[in-house]
């Protein structure tokens, strides 16, 4: 359990650094400009995608559970052939 918690902390730290780095390209003194809003959205999307992909690659129990729930939902809603 400690190993899993340590992995999650490391992945979250890298994810946070990625989002911070992407947001550093904005000029935040301008306030909520279109460029800043785009950068913030991109930072959130990329960092969440990174977090999910790394957790799936490491076969995290929580990530695999969420993946199976999403896959079963799509299978249930898809038309039968």
Average pLDDT of span 9-33: 90
Cβ distance 55 to 62 under 8 Å? yes
Cα-Cα end-to-end distance for the chain: 43
Cβ distance 39 to 23 under 8 Å? yes
Model confidence pTM above 0.85: no
pLDDT digits (tens, 9 = 90+) for 36-80: 999 999 999 999 999 888 888 888 877 788 888 888 888 887 776
- The predicted pLDDT at position 81 comes to 53
Name the most confidently modeled range: 4-8, 31-35, 65-69: 31-35
Cβ distance 26 to 12 under 8 Å? no
Cβ distance 44 to 19 under 8 Å? yes
The domain segmentation of the chain, as residue ranges, is 2-77
Flag whether pLDDT at 9 surpasses 80: yes
């Amino acid at each position: 359990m400690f190993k899993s918690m340590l992995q999650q902390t490391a992945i979250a730290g890298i994810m946070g650094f990625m989002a911070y780095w992407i947001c550093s390209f904005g000029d935040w003194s301008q306030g909520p400009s279109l460029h800043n809003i785009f950068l913030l959205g991109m930072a959130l999307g990329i960092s969440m995608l990174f977090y999910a992909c790394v957790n799936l690659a490491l076969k995290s129990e929580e990530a695999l559970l969420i993946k199976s729930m999403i896959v079963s939902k799509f299978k249930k809603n898809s038309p039968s052939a």
